[in-house]
């Protein structure tokens, strides 16, 4: 009997799972491993890669629900993953044939758990309840287990040029109310192929990341240090906020990240950014410490981190973050501003770091947010939870030197 196309795809998916299983609770670079695995399958077209990427990432999001089945009933595990996967052109036929239940009926996460006789809370690590209790509320659990949207930040005064191109491509998009320069695309698209992207009119940046710098009042024309710039998403945004008379010094110890930042700045036509691999001398009107972190706020995009991160790792990051804050606080001029941010939802990396820093640096004080975008604030800052605006998770605190 000839196997259907979806049946063949299921066999391929199970083979990919068998290859990845030894690594998905230990490999921090699992997304790179998945990408190389799919790229190595020369017979795959772009739609095949989108299908298997969605199935594999769904597997990682819902790992506790399907992991026990791989050795006993792998076809049931595959059927559950087909049901839980996001709907789209690449997955529609596969889900229609192989899903354990009707894939078209909208079902909440709690209803899916009840159908499978499983527990929703099992989808997050038990230790995470101490770090972020809010993540275990129904709304946050629902959002944390949905595929994240692609967010763009406009870098042009003519947004219609961008939105016309998006519409002409037939993509589903919307502009959001929190920030007029943010655009959400719900389809899986290759934005780098767009003329608007190549011209620097848009950059890829999650809405939550975009909101961070708008929670405080940053004066134009200032001199700022982006102390942990990386590839420079916030450096680019900060440069636009400061304007032509302002200046951003972007620092990172990784030369490859600064090279990518330089490419992005040139593409955007921003000439008020300079990069350096050495800690700069002197003081600045403001310093942004977007600190390396555990990345728990990015679990929607990097679900493997749920099963690799552990409390000792979180505390190692917290120690490093406190040291970075202390190091770069010295670069804030008297009366200047210090912004601390992470893409983590862990209290140990956020409010606890701020509390320890303020205890050791009496010349700084917390500033109340200029805008909170509807998020609940704490004495230590603002935690951007994903469900309110369909974002990744972040934390931000703004401090002023006396």
pLDDT tens-digit profile of 283-303?
A: 999 999 999 999 999 999 999
394 and 267 part of one domain: yes
Residue 287 · residue 338 · CB < 8 Å: yes
* Structural domain includes residue 97: yes
User: 142 in a domain, yes or no?
Assistant: no
Query: For position 105, what pLDDT does the model report?
Result: 77
What pLDDT does residue 67 have? 95
- pLDDT, mean of residues 355-364: 97
Same domain, yes or no: 98 and 19: yes
Answer whether residue 226 shows pLDDT above 60.
Answer: yes
Residues 59 and 10 in one domain: yes
State whether 172 and 222 are in the same domain.
Answer: no
Q: Say if residue 105 is in the same domain as residue 46.
A: yes
The answer to whether position 145 is within a domain reads: no
**pLDDT for position 2:** 67
Query: Average pLDDT of 333-346?
Result: 98
Instruction: Catalogue the active-site residues.
Output: 343
Domain residues for the domain of 315 are: 215-401
Distance CA(381)–CA(340), nearest Å, equals: 9
Asked if 88 and 201 sit in the same domain, the reply is: no
Pairwise CA distance, residues 310 & 218, whole Å: 36
61: how many CB neighbours lie within 10 A of its CB? 23
Instruction: Assess whether 114 and 263 both reside in one domain.
Output: no
Q: Do the domain assignments include residue 267?
A: yes
- Select from 241, 237, 367, 247 the least CA-distant residue to 290: 237
| pLDDT above 70 for 315 | yes
Q: Indicate the average pLDDT of the chain.
A: 95
CA atoms of 219 and 241, how far apart (whole Å): 8
Per the structure, how many domains does the chain have? 3
Neighbour-count burial for 154-189, b at 16+ CB within 10 Å, e otherwise: bbbeebeebbebbeeeebebeebebbebbbbbeebb
The CATH number that applies at residue 177 is 3.30.70.1170
> Could you tell me which of 118, 169, 165 has the C-alpha nearest to residue 141?
118
Confidence of residue 176 (pLDDT cuts 50, 70, 90): confident
Residues 313, 229 share a domain? yes
Give the number of residues written for the chain. 402
Across 159-272, the runs of DSSP E, i.e. the strands, are 173-175, 182-185, 202-204, 223-226, 247-251
Candidate ranges 37-51, 122-136, 175-189; pick with highest mean pLDDT: 122-136
Please check whether residue 174 lies inside any domain of the structure: yes
Residue-level pLDDT at 379? 85
> What kind and span of H or E run contains 290?
strand 284-290
- Please indicate, yes or no, whether residues 386 and 289 belong to a single structural domain of this protein: yes
Rounded to whole angstroms, the Cα distance separating 166 from 191 reads 9
Residue ranges of E strands in 84-125:
none
For residue 277, give the DSSP letter.
Answer: S
What distance in Å separates the CA atoms of residue 339 and residue 237, rounded to the nearest whole number?
Answer: 14
**Run of H or E residues at 113:** helix 109-116
| DSSP summary character for residue 98 | H
Judge whether residue 106 has pLDDT over 90: no
Residue 286 and residue 367 in one domain: yes
Task: List phi, psi (to 5°) of 283.
Answer: -120, 165
Answer yes or no: are the C-beta atoms of 93 and 106 closer than 8 Å: no
CA 377 – CA 381 distance, rounded (Å): 6
Instruction: Examine the fold and report which residue of 171, 205, 239 is the final residue of a domain before the chain moves on.
Output: 205
210 occurs within a structural domain: no
Is residue 370 assigned to a domain?
A: yes
- What pTM was computed for the model? 0.95
128 within a domain of the structure (yes/no): no
Same domain, 291 and 350: yes
Question: Is residue 215 very low, low, confident or very high in pLDDT (cuts 50, 70, 90)?
Answer: very high
Tell me the sheet residues that pair with 383: 395
181 and 233 both lie in a single domain: no
- Which CATH number does the domain housing residue 273 bear? 3.40.50.150
pLDDT at residue 213, rounded to an integer: 97
The structure tokens listed for 59 are 């597997």
């Amino acid at each position: 009997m000839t196997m259907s196309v979806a049946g063949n795809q299921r066999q391929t998916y199970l083979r990919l799972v068998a290859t990845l299983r030894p690594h998905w609770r230990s490999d921090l670079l699992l997304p790179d491993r998945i990408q190389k695995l799919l790229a190595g399958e020369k017979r795959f077209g772009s739609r095949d890669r989108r299908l298997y990427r969605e199935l594999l990432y769904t597997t990682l999001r819902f790992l506790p629900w399907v992991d026990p089945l791989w050795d006993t009933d792998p076809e049931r595990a595959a059927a559950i993953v087909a049901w839980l996967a996001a709907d789209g052109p690449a997955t529609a036929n596969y889900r229609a044939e192989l899903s354990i239940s009707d894939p078209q009926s909208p079902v909440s996460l709690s209803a899916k758990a009840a159908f499978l006789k499983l527990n929703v809370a099992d989808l997050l690590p038990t230790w995470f309840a101490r770090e972020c209790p809010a993540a275990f509320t129904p709304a946050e659990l629902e959002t944390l287990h949905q595929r994240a949207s692609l967010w763009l930040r406009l870098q042009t005064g003519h947004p219609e040029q961008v939105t016309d191109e998006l519409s002409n491509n037939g993509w589903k998009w919307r502009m959001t109310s929190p920030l007029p320069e943010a655009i959400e695309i719900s389809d899986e698209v290759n934005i780098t192929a767009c003329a608007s992207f190549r011209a620097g009119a848009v950059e890829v940046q999650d809405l939550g990341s975009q909101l961070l710098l708008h929670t405080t009042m940053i004066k134009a024309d200032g001199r700022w240090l982006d102390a942990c710039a990386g590839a420079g998403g916030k450096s680019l945004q900060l440069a636009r906020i400061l304007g032509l008379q302002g200046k951003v010094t972007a620092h990172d110890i990784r030369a490859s990240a600064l090279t990518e930042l330089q490419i992005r700045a040139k593409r955007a036509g921003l000439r008020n950014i300079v990069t350096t691999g050495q800690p700069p001398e002197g003081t600045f009107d403001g310093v942004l410490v977007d600190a390396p972190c555990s990345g728990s706020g990015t679990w929607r995009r990097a679900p493997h981190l749920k099963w690799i991160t552990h409390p000792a790792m979180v505390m190692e990051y917290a120690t490093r973050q406190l040291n970075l804050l202390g190091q770069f606080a010295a670069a804030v001029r008297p009366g200047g501003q210090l912004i601390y941010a992470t893409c983590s939802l862990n209290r140990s990396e956020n409010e606890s770091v701020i509390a320890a820093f303020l205890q050791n640096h009496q010349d700084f004080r917390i500033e109340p947010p200029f805008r909170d975008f509807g998020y609940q604030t704490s004495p230590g800052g603002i935690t951007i939870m994903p469900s309110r605006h369909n974002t990744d998770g972040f934390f931000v605190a703004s401090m002023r030197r006396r």
